[in-house]
Structure 1
Amino acid sequence: MFDSLRRFIRKWRASRDGGHQLDALLAIADRTAPYPERSEWLIELAHWIRRGHAVEAGAAAAGDNAHHSTPTHTRIRYLLHVLDRNPVWKGNVAGILRALLRESDGLSLLCDAGMPVHSGFFGALFERLEAALIPPAPNRRDLTAIVTLMFSSERDAEWIGALPTDLLIRIHALFDYAADEDEQRDTTPFSLDLLAALHNLTCQISSTGLSQTVRSRLGRADPDERGSAHAHRDRDGHAAHEASDVRVAMEKQPFYRLTRAMLAVETVHQAFVAGGPQEPLLHEVNYLRLLLDECRGATDNVFAHLYRNGVSVDIVFQVERMRMRIVRAEHLLNAWMAQDDPHAGARLTAELVNANHASQSVAHLVRSNFSLLARKVVEYSADTGEHYIARDRAEYLKMLRMAAGGGLVTVVTVCVKFAITGAHFQAMFEGLLAGINYAASFLLMHFLHFSLATKQPAMTAPTLARELDGVGTPAGVDSFVSSVTALMRTQAAAVLGNVLLVFPVCFGVQLLWHALFRANIISPEKAHATLHSFSLWGPTPFYAALTGVLLWSSSLLAGWADNWFVLHRVADALTYNRRLRMTLGAAGAERIARFCRANVARVVGNITLGLMLGLVPAILTAFAFSFEVRHVTLSAGSIGVALGVLGKDALKLPELWWAVAGVGSMAILNVAVSFALAFYMAVKSRDLRRNAVRSLRGAIWQRLFRHPLELVWPAKAARAAR
């Protein structure tokens, strides 16, 4: 069956000239060949168009606008030029193209190409990896499979959408060249395929929109309208009016009216084909456009409801796929109404090729899922992060006091950490104990309203992301820059408050311990090893950056926990729990629900951060590479203990000052890495373009040059107000 194609491939490989390759390819085109052979021929033709060698200058210049064309357009122009000179070849090529549309399932391409199938990330990932390893066979009578094999590059949509008018006219003419009566009788007009695809899509959109998942999140009818409906029913007293109320309520849903509008378009279209006037058809099409626009607005309302009341991946998947179907229906409708415009078909083809490629791209899957995760985490960390930004002098001084309290608690954490490491437990058990120590300290700081400096950036970046919504105006940019400046100032205050308290107190605790018990918290050898491990000349900066990643990861888990709590309405379940109400009373159950709602994110974040700081180094050291936690506050306290053990002679040791420099690098990298990752996620959640991010960065630098002292001390209220 494929002997002629194999002969062609051998002949093509032996040829060096692009024109000779095309001649060899066109010479074996056979409109009567079996479907798989014709499909493979088309795939090879598409490869020549996309990757063919340069054609002869004289032949490529055929056509008035050839000098304005891209290389791909030039090859298509040369192809049409060769076909015009060889009517037999042209008839075979035209017959193959018509047979492809006649014998392949086009609805799969028009309706399903680019539409996600799996709601889970790993299910979609495995599906795309499988498709990459096992591409579709050319004998599948599926237009999506042929398009996948013909256009495998993401750039194909660009040159298809940019095809010039003269080439589009000639390509359309090629499809109709030398068509016999049998072909015309058996071929379904493309307009009917578009209409069938529109019907399919509107049914799918309506089905999803009327499901309980979406319907319950669209909002309820206007109370005044419901009241007037009830009054109307009471006045007449007939059961028929109840059904009428139901119909009125359903008519308010655009998803309910969408399918009926599509049926009306089909009915009027049949009358128009039979010779009816065009005005009713235009009226029905415009009404369908209006309903599609209303459905798009309804999906925005669903997303707004989700972000207020908890995000479910499955629900977001359904609503996002419904939105994609709405956009696809609009594209099909535009192409159907502009059949006389050759560019309409090119735009639709480019959109289908682009969507089909995106549905098979692993990179696109990662980007889309990361954007969804970013939006999910950002929305539920913003309220928490606002707590960590000091915008005036009163809040600034309050942050200093909170940071000092956090440093005081860290003193105990450092001493317990040295006790755990001094016991020389097995590495994994030691990591578990260290994680419990860190988690307990972080929880104590939280409930005492103290602050740990490096925990703030991961929580405050989402707050800044919320302000990104207003950066389209000068006032919004100024507000965003003010928040960034306040954040930098707050971070400096928090780090300063932590370190200035934890270092001298740890130093004093070591001296007091030695005076009372005639012993040191750690041995002199351990003190020297501690200073050496914190040296700037070593892995300290790398470890500090990885610690910043752990700080950022804890904010993800905190955002997930807050979202889960809201999505499943755990607060309501606690408020109305029968046993809690019987034991504590209604007011007590409500207080517990409010307490859990206010603290769930921070408690989960603190516990997970503590356990990660203890266990992740042990796990990575055992299975991957050596890693130790380098946290600025904990390390500053450790240096204080080591200095107390070594005494004033340690001031002459270079390793002490290199360790101090290492702690400085920890302060920068802990904060910078965790904040950068969180802010990157925030930017991705807003789909902000690079130019906008670059302009914001410039605005921040301008503010710092104009008012550098704002980094260390808040401006007066009057200036802040301006």
Structure 2
Amino acid sequence: MFRKWRKWRESRNASLQLDAILASANPDALLADRNAWLVELGYWLRRDGRLAVDPDTGPDQANAPARSYPAHVRLRYLLQVLARHPDWADRFARTIRSIVRDNDPTSLFCDTGVASHPGFWGEMVDRLQARFLPPPPNRNDMAGLFALVFADESDADWVDGLDDDLIERIASALQAGAEDDRIMLEDTLAASIQVLASQVRATGLSQSIRSRLPGRVQDTPFFRLDAAIAALCEEGLAHDNEVFGHRLNYFRALLDGCLAAAQHVYDDLEENGVSVEVVFQIERMKVRLARIDLLLNAWVDPGRHSRHAHLMAELIRSTQARRSIAHLAGSSFAQLARKVVERSAETGEHYITRDRKEYGELLRAAAGGGLVTVVTVYLKFLIYGLHLDKFVEGLLASLNYAGSFLAIHFAHFTLATKQPAMTGPALAHRLDGAGRPEGREAFVDDTIAMIRSNAAAIFGNLAVVFPVALLVQWLASKLLGANLITPAKAIATIESFSILGPTPLYAAFTGVLLWLSSLIAGWADNWFALHRVHDVMAYNRRLRYVLGQGGAMKLADFWKRNLSGIAGNVSLGFLLGLGPEILSFFGPHMEVRHVTLSTGSVGTAIGVLGMDALRMPSLWLAVAGIALMGVLNVSVSFALAFNMAMRSRNLPRVDRRELSAAVRRRIVRHPMSLLIPPRVVPVSSHAPGDAA
């Protein structure tokens, strides 16, 4: 059993010896056997280890110039062996030519690296299947054969690195310079270009793309592609003919127009909301346009074999990218991620205070948020005191949190821990200009302002939630003669926040939930814009009949202003309430540790236990735990949002150490700027786009 397992592992890179491979070449064998023979040859080219120089090959191999790719050395060795054994060389050349002749090359040129499904999700399922089910070698599909022969990530590099001399020697060994071979290759390239052009035309004239382009459909470059490629591929038209040159230039101009139209669609998506399916269609069309350009270069000038090697290398890269789920998701979701992040950045700008007036308003809003949180804390104690089923408890807790967050939203209050997920993308936008001194200064200004704003919001929340929660319990005991929670529950509450327990893990988990809610808010805003829901509501016949024209418009404006906030707050409520219960059911036990809610809970517990609580070591461990909780809530959600913003915007590389040093220098020179805003606002901080 162990021997079989060892052989299975060795088979990943093992191959036959070259003499056995060459001796088994048979141009008359079944296609499956010939394809499998070529796959075995590919494994030999990638095989590790030094070559054993055949005495018959002479000293040339040993003295061959060293190349950066071992496959080049093996190719030279192969060519020398073929030169010394004419019988092997003849069978080798005829076998290779028969494989090329009997496998359909159009699928390789047109389909390799191009999504085969019309939608994102179908393509993702197909790629998942391709990762575990390689194509069988008994099909006459050159694309599938490519995937089997060139399975290593470095294959494209060594093929692209072939020099002209080696390419000429390979072509000579294959005896591939005959006129019929050249005509067959040119016809295949021309047919593949026509197929790709018709696919690009179909995508460009589809409703999802056409509706986002200006002007009449007849004026779009997609509409004229068919006639242009038909004229270019006219039978009997020589490539050195002047008419062919004019038609080629016109066709290339149309291709450039198609790329410009694709960019116009992207601009429309940026303004009116992103659809993953539309982005997927555009990305697939861009891949086809790039493929047409590669095929044109090889078709127009067939005498330059280096272009064929480059085309082959690009097909190998496309084949490997075709198996990548990450490549598909990255190309399709990047635009949506950027749109979601930009929505968060717009919201985050409102949370960054740059002068004392804004700072005071933020403190008042945070105090209001802390006041509402007191009600949330006591409702939470009431819900969990009922000892209901876990799912019911989670559902009621979700409704409690969602209602509280909505009240904070519509009262224009603020909850401190929600800010970092919004301010992260806003700060990432500043990196656009961080390579210049003025841009770097703007980034430092906003970094200090963000730290100050988050600190003020946390202080405003905690400065109200703790004393008010304590006061409510004190009044209940004085006026009603009863505690709102039992002493045992109060002690258990304090102990649950100890820094020595799982509180840090739960606090980091809560930071992830805070970040997820910001993504949901951005996605909801994108969905609203993409489907033009504002216009649908404003011009809805029945709404106008019930509310009147002005009322329907006001309702549409209300949802336009508040949908993102409602979606973010409701989703956060359900993530905090039901999220831990669902995750605990499927995996590890998790709980929520939110700094504002936890501070209110401790205030309530101290109100029940009285001054004796101050002598409890567990109280001070809980205080340390809550301090760390606040740091983790803020830092985890900020880090996730900031990192996503940088990735989605494809920002230029900046010297992070230099930026960090600039922030530290500002703090050392003006430490009070972390607590008190300046009297005069820096010019660089006035508008989000100034530094860009």
TM-score by length of 1: 0.87
Partner of 1:44: 40
Confirm whether residue 538 of structure 1 aligns to residue 497 of structure 2.
no
Q: Judging changes above 3 Å, is the alpha-carbon distance between structure 1 residues 210 and 126 closer, same or farther for their aligned structure 2 residues? A: closer
Q: Judging changes above 3 Å, is the alpha-carbon distance between structure 1 residues 670 and 364 closer, same or farther for their aligned structure 2 residues? A: same
CA distance in 2, matches of 1:36, 1:369: 36
Partner of 1:682: 645
Q: Deviations over 1:466-496 (max 9, x none)?
A: 4455556554454444333332222122112
Partner of 2:690: none
Partner of 2:78: 79
Q: CA deviation at 1:465?
A: 4.4
Residue range with higher mean Cα deviation, 558-567 or 135-144: 558-567
Residue range with higher mean Cα deviation, 587-596 or 641-650: 641-650
Q: Is the 8 A contact 1:334 1:344 kept in 2?
A: yes
Counterpart mapping for 1:245-394 below 5 A: 249-250=216-217, 252-267=219-234, 270-272=236-238, 277-394=240-357
Q: Deviations over 1:607-627 (max 9, x none)?
A: 111011111122233342221
Partner of 2:125: 126
Q: Is the 8 A contact 2:120 2:280 kept in 1?
A: no
Q: Deviations over 1:313-361 (max 9, x none)?
A: 2222212211111111122222223433332112111111111111122
Q: Judging changes above 3 Å, is the alpha-carbon distance between structure 1 residues 569 and 718 closer, same or farther for their aligned structure 2 residues? A: closer
- The root-mean-square deviation of aligned C-alpha atoms, in Å, is 2.6
Q: Which amino acid aligns with 1:270?
A: G
CA distance in 1, matches of 2:566, 2:554: 17
SS at 1:30 equivalent: coil
CA distance in 1, matches of 2:408, 2:657: 34
Q: CA deviation at 1:252?
A: 3.4
CA distance in 1, matches of 2:441, 2:313: 40
CA distance in 1, matches of 2:14, 2:474: 86
Partner of 2:164: 165
Partner of 1:117: 116
Partner of 2:485: 522
Q: CA deviation at 1:291?
A: 2.0
Q: CA deviation at 1:396?
A: 2.2
CA distance in 2, matches of 1:61, 1:657: 80
Residue range with higher mean Cα deviation, 658-667 or 209-218: 209-218
Q: 1:462 aligns with which of 410, 418, 425?
A: 425
Partner of 2:472: 509
SS at 1:519 equivalent: coil
Q: Deviations over 1:423-461 (max 9, x none)?
A: 222211111111111000000000000011111222233
Q: Which amino acid aligns with 2:472?
A: V
CA distance in 1, matches of 2:246, 2:203: 26
CA distance in 1, matches of 2:435, 2:251: 32
CA distance in 2, matches of 1:251, 1:128: 36
Confirm whether residue 216 of structure 1 aligns to residue 179 of structure 2.
no
Residue range with higher mean Cα deviation, 162-171 or 376-385: 376-385
Q: Is the 8 A contact 1:481 1:696 kept in 2?
A: no
Q: Judging changes above 3 Å, is the alpha-carbon distance between structure 1 residues 105 and 592 closer, same or farther for their aligned structure 2 residues? A: same
Q: 2:197 aligns with which of 202, 206, 211?
A: 202
Q: Is the 8 A contact 2:370 2:596 kept in 1?
A: yes
SS at 2:238 equivalent: helix
Partner of 2:447: 484
Task: Kindly tell me the number of residue pairs found equivalent between the two proteins.
Answer: 670
Q: Judging changes above 3 Å, is the alpha-carbon distance between structure 1 residues 396 and 119 closer, same or farther for their aligned structure 2 residues? A: farther
Q: Deviations over 1:110-146 (max 9, x none)?
A: 1111111335554333322322333211111110011
Partner of 2:61: 62
Q: CA deviation at 1:718?
A: 5.5
Counterpart mapping for 1:692-703 below 5 A: 692=653, 695-696=655-656, 698-703=658-663
Partner of 1:400: 363
Partner of 2:4: none
Q: CA deviation at 1:250?
A: 5.0
Q: Judging changes above 3 Å, is the alpha-carbon distance between structure 1 residues 191 and 379 closer, same or farther for their aligned structure 2 residues? A: farther
Partner of 2:633: 670
Counterpart mapping for 1:544-693 below 5 A: 544-688=507-651, 692=653
SS at 2:346 equivalent: helix
Q: Judging changes above 3 Å, is the alpha-carbon distance between structure 1 residues 332 and 475 closer, same or farther for their aligned structure 2 residues? A: farther
Q: Deviations over 1:614-650 (max 9, x none)?
A: 1112223334222111001101111111122222222
SS at 1:647 equivalent: helix
CA distance in 2, matches of 1:532, 1:653: 10
Q: Judging changes above 3 Å, is the alpha-carbon distance between structure 1 residues 102 and 624 closer, same or farther for their aligned structure 2 residues? A: same
Q: Judging changes above 3 Å, is the alpha-carbon distance between structure 1 residues 17 and 350 closer, same or farther for their aligned structure 2 residues? A: closer
Q: Which amino acid aligns with 2:190?
A: L
SS at 2:229 equivalent: helix
Q: Judging changes above 3 Å, is the alpha-carbon distance between structure 1 residues 412 and 347 closer, same or farther for their aligned structure 2 residues? A: same
Q: 1:191 aligns with which of 186, 200, 213?
A: 186
CA distance in 1, matches of 2:243, 2:356: 67
Q: Judging changes above 3 Å, is the alpha-carbon distance between structure 1 residues 335 and 463 closer, same or farther for their aligned structure 2 residues? A: farther
CA distance in 1, matches of 2:93, 2:480: 98
Q: Is the 8 A contact 1:264 1:284 kept in 2?
A: yes
Partner of 1:21: 17
Q: Judging changes above 3 Å, is the alpha-carbon distance between structure 1 residues 480 and 284 closer, same or farther for their aligned structure 2 residues? A: farther
Q: Judging changes above 3 Å, is the alpha-carbon distance between structure 1 residues 207 and 125 closer, same or farther for their aligned structure 2 residues? A: closer
SS at 1:484 equivalent: helix
Q: Which amino acid aligns with 1:509?
A: V
Q: CA deviation at 1:720?
A: 4.2
Q: Which amino acid aligns with 2:18?
A: L
CA distance in 2, matches of 1:251, 1:369: 29
Q: Is the 8 A contact 1:49 1:72 kept in 2?
A: yes
Q: Deviations over 1:655-687 (max 9, x none)?
A: 111111111111111111112222222222123
Q: Which amino acid aligns with 2:163?
A: P
Q: Judging changes above 3 Å, is the alpha-carbon distance between structure 1 residues 561 and 17 closer, same or farther for their aligned structure 2 residues? A: closer
CA distance in 1, matches of 2:278, 2:333: 16
Q: Is the 8 A contact 1:469 1:686 kept in 2?
A: no
Q: Judging changes above 3 Å, is the alpha-carbon distance between structure 1 residues 474 and 196 closer, same or farther for their aligned structure 2 residues? A: farther
CA distance in 2, matches of 1:296, 1:481: 38
CA distance in 2, matches of 1:260, 1:65: 51
Q: Is the 8 A contact 2:441 2:684 kept in 1?
A: no
SS at 2:66 equivalent: helix
Counterpart mapping for 1:234-245 below 5 A: none
Q: Judging changes above 3 Å, is the alpha-carbon distance between structure 1 residues 295 and 96 closer, same or farther for their aligned structure 2 residues? A: same
Partner of 1:242: none
Partner of 1:225: none
Q: Is the 8 A contact 2:352 2:450 kept in 1?
A: yes
Q: Which amino acid aligns with 2:532?
A: R
Q: Judging changes above 3 Å, is the alpha-carbon distance between structure 1 residues 123 and 214 closer, same or farther for their aligned structure 2 residues? A: closer
Identity of matched residues, %:
48
Q: Which amino acid aligns with 1:271?
A: L
CA distance in 1, matches of 2:233, 2:380: 75
Q: Which amino acid aligns with 2:236?
A: Q
Q: Is the 8 A contact 2:193 2:295 kept in 1?
A: yes
